[in-house]
Each structure stands twice: as C-alpha cells, then as structure tokens.
Structure 1
C-alpha cells in the first residue's frame, strides 16, 4: 500500500507510539487524524503533522465513528493504527486483597475491546472503498499488542490478558476480511521508551533496560513507526503478529 495521499487514523495518537506513528505516516505523505483521550495532546500532534485530531474513548462506538468521519474527510481511509492502551500494574492477590475487578475490566475495555471496536468500524468503511493496486487492496489495520502477551510478568495479568486477546483476534480477523481486500497485522513491541515507561519508578526503568539484549537499550517509538510503514508497503504481511523486541523474552518479574 502506498500511503501517500490516503487518510490514516491513529488511536492513542497524542503521545508515545501513536504520536511517532502519526508523524512517520505524515512524513510519508498520508493525511493523518490523531485520536486520543487527551484532546490537547492530539491537537498538538495534528498541528505538527498538518492533519486533524479527535478526542474520545476507543471503546465508545459514537466517538470512534466521529473520528472515522473526520479522518475520511481527509481522503480515502485505508489505514488504521491502534496504539491506544493502558498498563496499570496490579497483582492477582496483593497487600490490599484481590485484584480490583473494575480495574481488570477497564484494562480489557481499552486495550482489547477498544482495539476491536475501532477495527470493526473502520473495516466496514474500508470494505466500501474501491480496490487499488494489482492485488486489489482496500485497507490495512495495524494493531498494537505487547510481548507481555506471551511472557506477562508478575502484576501484569490484566495487561497481558488484554494484549493476548489482541494477538488472538489477528489471524481470524485477517482471514475474514481477506475477501474484502483488507489486511490485519499486529505489532508486539518489547521495551520501548514511551510516556508509559517514563511513568515507572527509576529503579524499575533501570531493571528493564538491563534486560535488553541487542541493541542494548530500550526501543524507540520511531522504530515501531517505521515498522508500520514497512507493513503498509509489503502486502504479503497479513494475519501475523510481529515481535519488535530485540530478541528479549521477559522473565517472571
């Protein structure tokens, strides 16, 4: 897929992986709408990229429809990148008792239900577009999981379960949407320097850096953004979850 001239919606586009992806897509010629709960952050990214912004909850159908409308006004909406996510830590049984069920539900709502909500609504619109290129492609959905989907650490049950769900929906969604010329690919980042990582205590951050194999550092958001561009450019990438982790495998804690 040539991203030049197409419209792209990036959720979680106000910071971190989403902001880096929005900027990379805009630099490649796409017209980008950044959607984020933080309206100010999303607007700042839109200002830098010359695109548009929308504020809203990815699990809210009305908010997502409004964002898709705004994105489609920029051009043919052929690309959606789901980067919105949260990762509050909590043990199954901690010092204050069992894991708060409402917190578990919130993580799943944002990370998994939100991803599926955006994908289903975007795919319905993509399916109505004219096919392009020799393969007759209509669109691409890139989701964001995590290597925690495979090696969730202590305190990550909610996060790991939500991201494992994203991995699990990738292949069946790709198989179903293939008839419409829509690809579905998921990226499972490793340890990336993002605001989510910056929110951890310094000791925890240093411990995570020490796990890195090669390169011997945390990943950069721009590296994940470049992977999104590579996925768009290669039509054979479909129905797969790609680990971008420098060969890291998370230990239990």
Structure 2
C-alpha cells in the first residue's frame, strides 16, 4: 500500500497533476478492473435471458438459464403465484397414452385443478415445456410471449383484487345485517320484559275470579244468616203477642 501511494505521489510531482486527481483516477481504474468481469458477463448474456415466464397448459411456468440450458423449470399458479402440485399417479398404472394424464393442482386456491396434460407423466410435461421455450427463442417470438405473459398476470392480479374487494363488501354487509338482527332481538326482549305475557294475564284473571267467587260466597252466607235471625225474631214476636192475648 505504501508503494502504491509513493508511486501516485511521484506521478503527481512528475506531471504536475494535483494529488486528488491522481488518487481519484487510481480508484476509478481499480473499480473498473474489479467490476469488468461482471459487466462482461452481463454484456455477453443472450438477448433472450429475460425470457423466464410462460403461460402454457393454463398454468405459469418459470425457469432460469445456466450455461445455455434451462434449469429450475416448474409450474406456478397464475392467480396466487404459488407452486403447484403435480398429480401423475395414473400414468404408472395406465399403459395407453390417451389414459395417461398429468394434473396441475393449486393447494392455496382450494385444491382445484388448474390444467392437465394428456400423454405422459411430469417428465413428459417438462420436456414439452422446454421444447416450447426453445421454439420461441429460435423463432425470435420470446419478446411477444413475455409481454403477453405479463399482461395475463396483471389481469389475473386485478381479478383477484376485485374478488377480495367483493368478499370484503359481502362480509361487511353480513356484519351489518347481524348487528341489525341483534338490535332487533334486544328490542323484542325488552318489550317482552315490559309487557306481561298471556299466561301471566290468565293466571291473574283466575286469581281475581277466585277472589270474587269467594267474596260472593261469603256475602251469600252472611245474607242467609241475617235472614234466619230475622225469621226467628218474627216468630218470637208473634209468640209473645199470643201469650199476652191469652193472659188478658
């Protein structure tokens, strides 16, 4: 490091250049030399290197490039962007190609089938996708395919946002209805507490009727007793009158 600094100082004194300019130039040269391999690698990349997505068989395929070969190829859900499950169990038991079916299932979207390929298992499907990728690269149509893929993914994203908004609106309306029903139930319960029930009114009426009948029975009993005493008094008065007449 000291030798480099002394060299820069000599260059500055020899050519009458300010020291900071010499130091800045040396730093710039070092940065260029260090970053040159990375820059060269980027410049030497093929034009199709950005072509890494494709919608095929109703699912999204993603991959990478390494040494001129397609690697890491797998299928994804175009709606939620999650990895898909591949079901090719029947390909082992079936012998005819028409009965060998590979299914693509998204576990995040309810486990529904998104697409299928007839004719072989997952290795067969991956070979078909690779062949289609290289076909677009050879034809030079990979830019159009990449643009169409991005537009399709944007449409899927908008549809998913609309669905989530609709679900949120439906949930909000249901919550409002539930709150309204709860309020009406509370009002009805308060009214029922304030107003007596028909059973309570019937019991009260029966109590009043019993009281009235009891009172009427007592009055009738008292009236009969009064009548009997009055009759006895009249009989006694008549006997006394007869006795006085006989005595006279």
Quickly name the TM-score band, shorter chain normalised.
under 0.3
Q: Which has the higher strand share?
A: 1
Q: TM-score, normalised by structure 2?
A: 0.20
Q: TM-score, normalised by structure 1?
A: 0.20
Structure number with larger C-alpha Rg: 2
